[in-house]
Structure 1
Amino acid sequence: MTSPDFWNRFSLRLEDKDICVKAVRDRYEDCEVEEFREQGYCSYTLLVTPPKVAFAREIIRHQATAEVKCEDGPALIVQLRPPQHALDLNIVRAASTAHPALAPTIEDLDLSLPRGIRAYEMRKVDGTPLSRLQQHGHSLDDSAGKRLERLITSFADLIAQSWHSPQEVHDITRTARADSPMDERPSMFAQCRGKVGSTMISRLERLASELPDEHLREIAREAMRAIQRMEDYPLVLNHGDLIPSNILVDQNTWEITGLIDWAEAEYLPFGTCLYGLEHLLGNMTISLPGSALTWTYLNGATQLRELFWSRLIDAVPGLEARMGDVRVMRDVGVLLWHGIAWDNGAIDRVVNDGEDVEELVKLRAFLTAG
């Protein structure tokens, strides 16, 4: 195990790593424990592979009278997280309820680890990160086009599932007048208690005054005015980082098989995660060395976006009547996820032309395409 990045990033010692890995190995003494090849920014991940004998023993222990077929057990993931990036177990359990086939059940291992590090166990979700399979450029052959269509319809089904899932808040009616000052928050947003939701209005205010060009600032102002007029709009569980590296797919069909990294999930108005659709329809390109970055949409992206909306509306009766509000929340999501910089976990700075060129390219492209 040779990856020191996580430990250096959070000012942890390599001795802490040795203690943590030993604790996990002791917890799974009959299993193989090794560094997982996919590592996140805010966590260190271990793959736990049970041998046949350990799996058979576990079945016998829990089902003494059952007929046992000696096969390998399911692989597990153990994720180590510093205290500032600990998981909200209520949220991750809600995710596995809302998306039982896509989100793993996560349990706190309650190990005694140094510096407040937490260890979480979860089932290894099948699939390949979409980021490994996406191609650069804009042309697609027929087979790639078919895979992308399946990806888009699968993504629409995922979004529809969030609408139908149990919600923390139902049918919240606005109590503030449309012309109320912005510090009198509409009740819908008063119910958003997570890191993003609880500061959504103030973030939009900052975006409306600090984004680097007038066109973007006006879009932020329009979004603020629009959300003040919303009534009876649903809050749903929002993944929080719906990008290709967190979307697992069947590498042959591109059907979505899982979502990973629910650390930033929270309840937000439906549609705020739709920035994720844009990441499926294009990619960042640079035509020549030294030339400017450009967001390039795939050929057929317009038709694929129409396919997404058609599939979503078919799956959610009555949604068509709220499409104006859904599109507003889609723009709000784009503004919040790409207009606020992510500085090593801090999300309290508006992007600027000097430090955040890539985010501004995405912001301008996504708000134009929506």
Structure 2
Amino acid sequence: MSSNLQLSFWEMMGVEDGWREGCLRAVRDCHVGARIEELEHQGGCSFTVLIVRAGSEREGKIADAISRDSVRSDRAPETRIIQFRPEKHGLDLRIAQAATETYGHFAPKSRGLNFGLPNGLQAFELEMMRGTPFSRCQRRSLRLDPEAWGRQLNLIRSFAAVIAKAWLASSQTSHSPRRTRADSPIIDDSDTLLSQCTGKVGANITSKLHRLARYLPDAALRRRAANTLSRLSELKGYPVVLNHGDLIPSNILIDPDTWEITGIIDWAEAEWLPFGMCLYGLEHFLGFLDYTITSAPKFQYYYGAERLRKFFWEELWIHAPAMKERMKVVRLAGDIGVFLWYGYAWDEGAIDRVVNEVDDKQELDCLRRFLERDVRT
């Protein structure tokens, strides 16, 4: 990420750019002798550094900075990541722990650090995950040659295995008369189900769909949003699971040789939501944003995207055969996810403005294209 974007992070925090050096100094004090590297590609809501230790796994002074509510790993790795985030976009360590419990090694272990930083700036230590961001490998041509097609199948097969973990985790508590985890239940009433979705997105599913049905820029989208809203009662008895909150190519790590998924990063926006609300992530394996179009990027599907989509569902049903009987509701949850992720502008995390034709052409294009997916399935 460019220095301008890094600077905007510090400006967003309301602190001087000199605090960047202060953060780096705090890291050096805790990792004496380690090599400290700023990541080349920084997130818009975080500042991340890599800690490389020269053959030693001593904890050093880092132990003094570990929060009591942190998620700890049993063994300190030689390479670590420390990430600084504003409180507004902080990492809920309970969510981070739930991510590792639900998705296993596909989610990084995390722990909080007490660095005493200004203006609510928070620090977290994250497990270093192997792999390359899919965004760096993604094919941006409509036709996939046989080798690329094989890699795409590997990618989609592994994605199905990851997504299935959430469905299977939900079924483990489905026979208990009282759920021990109130934030991840299988429940028998759609109103109660939505009441369990207490995050920034989940707590406002109904009201957000209402606004989309009223304010989206064309009649077809408004009708589709209204129809989706009218069907919320179909979520009765449906599982609430931990959904990743930003399942885009830059947050998905893959083996650069096989294209199998090795991990998913950036769980700061994850929430307990109806299963399948993050399935918009599948679309990024079936096509790409074409930036060669001068007016605004357009989403283009690969030739053969229909076969790739069918392959995904077949693989998912292998892991979770009971899901096949509930596909109508799974697709409904997918629609809700598409509407809430692409029907609202990011706006520095406010996520409260309905997209329009002037300012949000890319989001609107994705919204329209992704809602067409059932036609191609």
Query: 1:263-297 deviations in whole A, cap 9, x for unaligned?
Result: 0001000010011111111112256545x643210
State which of 172, 186, 190 in structure 2 corresponds to 1:171. 186
**1:286-325: CA deviations, max 9, x gaps?**
56545x6432100110000000011111211211111000
Pair 1:41 & 2:56 matched: no
- AA partner of residue 286 (structure 2): L
Does structure 2 retain, via aligned residues, the 8 Å contact 1:282–1:297?
yes
Contact 2:142 2:302 in 1 (8 A): yes
1:227 paired with 2:242, answer no
Give the letter for the 2:187 counterpart: I
Contact between 2:81 and 2:125, CA under 8 Å: does it hold in 1? Answer: yes
Residue in structure 2 matched with residue 317 of structure 1 by the alignment = 321
* 2:33 is equivalent to residue 18 of structure 1: no
Cross-structure match for 2:108? 104
Instruction: Select 2:281's aligned residue among 271, 276, 279.
Output: 276
Corresponding residue for residue 68 of structure 2:
none
For residue 83 of structure 2, what is the aligned residue in structure 1?
79
Q: Which amino acid aligns with 2:90?
A: A
- Tell me how far 1:169 sits from its aligned partner: 3.2
Q: Which residue of 1 aligns with 2:365?
A: 361
Question: Structure 1 residues 112, 269: closer, same or farther in 2, change over 3 A?
Answer: same
The count of corresponding residues between Structure 1 and Structure 2 is 346
> Which one-letter code corresponds to 1:296 in the other structure?
Q
Find 1:345's aligned residue among 349, 352, 358: 349
Alpha-carbon offset, residue 209 of structure 1 = 0.7
Q: Which residue of structure 1 lines up, in the alignment, with residue 71 of structure 2? A: none
User: Which stretch of structure 1 is more off in the superposition, 124-133 or 92-101?
Assistant: 92-101
Question: What's the RMSD between the two structures over aligned residues?
Answer: 2.0
Match of 1:239 in 2: 244
Query: What is the percent sequence identity of the aligned residues?
Result: 44
Structure 1 consecutive aligned stretches of length 4 or more whose deviation exceeds 6 Å: none
| SS of residue in 1 equivalent to 2:337 | helix
Q: Verify the 8 A CA contact 2:343 2:354 in the aligned structure 1.
A: yes
Residues 197-216 of structure 1: per-residue CA shift (max 9 Å, x gap) = 00010000001111111111
| Alignment correspondent of 1:4 | 7
Which structure 1 segments of 5+ residues have no match?
A: 60-71, 176-185
Instruction: Note closer, same or farther for the CA distance 1:289–1:342 as it changes in structure 2 (3 Å cut).
Output: closer
Specify the SS of the correspondent of 2:105: coil
Shift of 1:104: 0.8
* CA–CA separation in structure 2 for the residues paired with 1:260 and 1:154: 16
Superposed, which structure 2 residues align to 1:147-296 within 5 Å? Answer: 147-165=151-169, 168-174=183-189, 186-285=191-290, 289-290=294-295, 293-296=297-300
Q: Deviations along 1:25-84, whole A, 9 cap, x unmatched?
A: 1011131112112211100001001111x32x569xxxxxxxxxxxx9531000001121
- Distance in 1, Cα, partners of 2:45 & 2:256: 26
SS of aligned partner of 2:318? helix
Question: What is the CA–CA distance in structure 2 between the aligned matches of 1:353 and 1:93, rounded to whole Å?
Answer: 39
Tell me if structure 1 keeps the 8 A contact 2:198–2:272.
yes
- State the Cα distance separating 1:170 from its structure 2 match: 2.7
Change (3 A) 1:287 1:39: closer
Pairs within 5 Å for 1:111-150: 111-150=115-154
Alpha-carbon contact 1:129-1:245 (below 8 Å) kept: yes
AA partner of residue 118 (structure 2): P
2: CA distance, partners of 1:314 / 1:226? 28
SS in 1 for 2:22: helix
Q: Distance in 2 between matches of 1:287 and 1:358?
A: 13
Contact 1:74 1:123 in 2 (8 A): no
**2:23 counterpart SS class:** helix
Is 1:298 the counterpart of 2:313? The answer is no
Contact 2:13/2:121 (8 A) holds in 1: no
Moved more, 15-24 or 245-254: 15-24
